[in-house]
Amino acid sequence: MWLKNIAFIALATVVLASLANWLLAPPKVEALDDPVVVVSDDFQTTKEAIDAQFREVWKSRELEPAPKADDLTIARRISLGLTGSIPSLEEIRLLENRPKEDRLAWWVNHLLEDRRYGDYMAERLSRAYVGTENGPFLIFRKRRFVTWLSDQLMANRPYNELTQDLIAESGLWTDHPAVNFITATVDQDGTKEPDVAMLAGRVTRAFLATRIDCVQCHDDNLGGDLKQTDFHELASFFREAQNSFVGIMDQKGKPYEYKYLHAEEETTVPAQVPFNQHLLEESGGTLRDRLAGWVTHPENKPFSRAIVNRVWAVMTGRPLVEPVDNIPLNGSFEKGNFPAGLDPLVDDFIAHNFDLKRLIRLIASTEAFQRDSRADHELTARHEQAWASYPVTRLRPEQIIGSINQASSLSTLNADSHVLTKLVTFGETNDFLKRYGDAGEDEFSMDGGTIPQRLLMMNGNLVTERTKNNFVRNAATRISQLSPNNETGVETAFLCVLTRRPTEKELEHFVNKLESDEVKSNRTQDFEDIYWALMNCTEFAWNH
């Protein structure tokens, strides 16, 4: 029996040593056998057109652009934008084992095939489609809706087709999840029917980046061309949608009546679009089918501009045109907005059948996306505004919790993780978000952090749990016990938490602290302290 125990211990030691050698050791530099990711000629042509527009603006504004960021910084941005989390140490090792010229293109493709991308992007987009509230539970299943949306994104279904389903789908909200876009607006205490005004507002903001709902109650009196009739004529396309025992159906001929401002009585409102009327088909399916066809028509540029601007914002933390849901219809941009790069992305998006994954690859490849947030020369707000330097933005709450969890694991937390790990992570994430707070539908608010948020990071249970002695769920413990020396341990901790290696001064400081500690505290405790300090530093909580 004792021979078996010795053999088992020896085998376990070999396995742990192999794991430590692969995860903690510096990456090998030889190229892998995998083919280099290549892109088509027209991909490169579009990228160059985007870069040229940015360069032209930098030159006209006399802005010296920041240099290109290093690969790990860019990889961190991409990971936060596509998965809501920083890269794992395991992924960093894989990335650095790629040929240098292939790394970032491979990294984007790697994440686009990971379920984390579908789930995270679906959650972000769903905020614009159905809001953040749970809605009327009996006829609305947000989780079912987000899962369906994630499936569409993973399959890279053309975005125009996906949008058509949201606007025009019929059936039960459980069997046809897209109809949750409609049922989310049902007032359970009122008519128990879809709210046509709310649907019109969401269509215009989410799919057209136009705030036509601002003229719901009166004409635009600030010099605009929109009228109150424009909004309600658009809302009239939803007048036939009704809630029935078989789900959402369309009742042909159902009227929509509304009493306009200063009118003496209600009037029957026809279904009409506020612009590009020539793109609206006169017949073909239900009113919602016709509206869906008009919204997603290739020549209806506001549709493509809306999603391009929103995806750019999700990936970077800031849209090209602000606010994200208010792009001028006439193509003129007021002072403070920055449209460079938008139209080449839009044209490419339409030309390639509304391909979201291609759009993401293009954005990640641009010079503007890959600029450093720092430079040898002085950077100003004008640099960030013009994307001559990468704008620094505060991480969203789900990015904070996602990064804390990932930094606490040497391996990648994804759909392949153990079911118990996923369950615990899910529960802790929900609890953290309730305490930390959520920006809601105002996704790209520049509001600063709060004192309770900082206290939660410094004293909250989650960070404490992730930095205490626990070999299974605490990377700090594993690093302290598996790293062959302090230099390797400190470097690994920085890679796990900040996705970069320490500077010479940082490495010297922490190594000296570890080796000259007068109290000679436990090595595991020392690394837990390092982890706690890194998780609570400003750099960890910002995208840069």
| 3-state per-residue secondary structure call for 168-207 | HCCECCCCCHHHHHHHCCCCCCCCCCCCHHHHHHHHHHHH
- Token pair 């020896």 is found at 10
pLDDT per position as a tens digit, 361-382: 999 999 999 999 998 888 889 9
DSSP state of 279: G
Ranges 4-13, 185-194, 204-213, most confident: 204-213
Q: Is the pLDDT of residue 434 over 60?
A: yes
Phi, psi (5° rounding) for residue 225?
Answer: -95, -10
Confidence band of 228 (pLDDT split at 50, 70, 90): confident
Write down the H helix ranges in 203-341: 208, 228-235, 287-295, 301-316
| Domain finish residue from 275, 295, 315 | 295
Q: Are 396 and 541 in the same domain? A: yes
Does the structure show a pLDDT above 70 at 448?
A: no
Residue 22 has pLDDT above 50, yes or no: no
Instruction: Assess whether 396 and 528 both reside in one domain.
Output: yes
Whether 494 maps to a domain, the answer reads yes
What pLDDT is attached to residue 515? Answer: 85
Are 259 and 137 found together in one domain? yes
End position of a domain, from candidates 295, 315, 340: 295
- Whether 166 and 287 map to the same domain: the answer is yes
Check pLDDT > 60 for residue 77.
Answer: yes
Q: What is the pLDDT of residues 147-197, one digit of tens each?
A: 999 999 999 999 999 999 999 999 999 999 999 999 999 986 667 899 999
Q: Determine, yes or no, domain membership for 216.
A: yes
Q: Is 505 exposed, middle or buried (0-12, 13-18, 19+ CB in 10 A)?
A: exposed
pLDDT digits (tens, 9 = 90+) for 310-323: 999 999 999 999 99
What kind and span of H or E run contains 21? helix 2-24
- What average pLDDT is seen over the chain? 84
- Give the residue from 253, 543, 283, 227 showing the smallest Cα distance to 400: 543
Q: Quick one: 270 and 404 in the same domain?
A: no
Joined tokens for residue 104: 């970032």
Note whether 136 and 279 are same-domain residues. yes
Residue 158 has what pLDDT? 98
**Helices and strands, number each (H, E), in the chain:** 26, 6
Provide the residue range defining the domain that includes 397.
Answer: 392-544
Model pTM?
Answer: 0.89
Check pLDDT > 60 for residue 247: yes
Q: pLDDT tens-digit profile of 38-54?
A: 456 799 999 999 999 99
Shared domain check, 403 and 269: no
Q: What is the mean pLDDT of residues 325-347?
A: 75
Residues 6+ apart with CB under 8 A from 184: 130, 131, 135, 136, 140, 142, 145
Confidence at 137, pLDDT banded by 50, 70, 90: confident
Same domain? For 399 and 287 the reply is no
Q: Is residue 346 part of a domain?
A: no
Q: Token digits for 80? A: 């936060």
**Given a cut of 90, is residue 238 above it in pLDDT?**
yes
> According to the model, what pLDDT value does residue 156 have?
98
Average confidence (pLDDT) over 514-528? 74
Average pLDDT over residues 120-126: 96
Q: Per-residue b/e over 197-209, b at no fewer than 16 CB within 10 Å?
A: bbbbbbbbbbbbb
Residue 3 belongs to some domain of the structure: no
Q: What pLDDT is stored for residue 516 in this prediction? A: 76
Tell me the pairing of strands 393-394 and 241-244. Answer: unpaired
Q: Which of 268, 295, 322 represents a domain boundary (last residue)? A: 295
pLDDT the model gives residue 29: 38
Other Cβ atoms closer than 10 A to 242: 17
Does residue 474 contact residue 512 with C-beta atoms inside 8 Å? no
Residues 272 and 401 in one domain: no
Share of the chain above pLDDT 90, in %: 56
Question: Is 13 part of any domain?
Answer: no
CA dist 194 → 67, 166, 189, 241, 427 (Å): 51, 14, 12, 7, 33
Q: How far apart are CA 101 and CA 453, in angstroms?
A: 40
Number of domains in the chain: 2
Domain annotation covers residue 531: yes
Same domain membership, residue 257 and residue 138: yes
Let me know if residue 325 belongs to a domain.
Answer: no
The pLDDT of residue 27: 45
Does residue 484 form part of some domain?
yes
Provide, rounded to the nearest whole percent, the portion of the chain with pLDDT above 70. 78
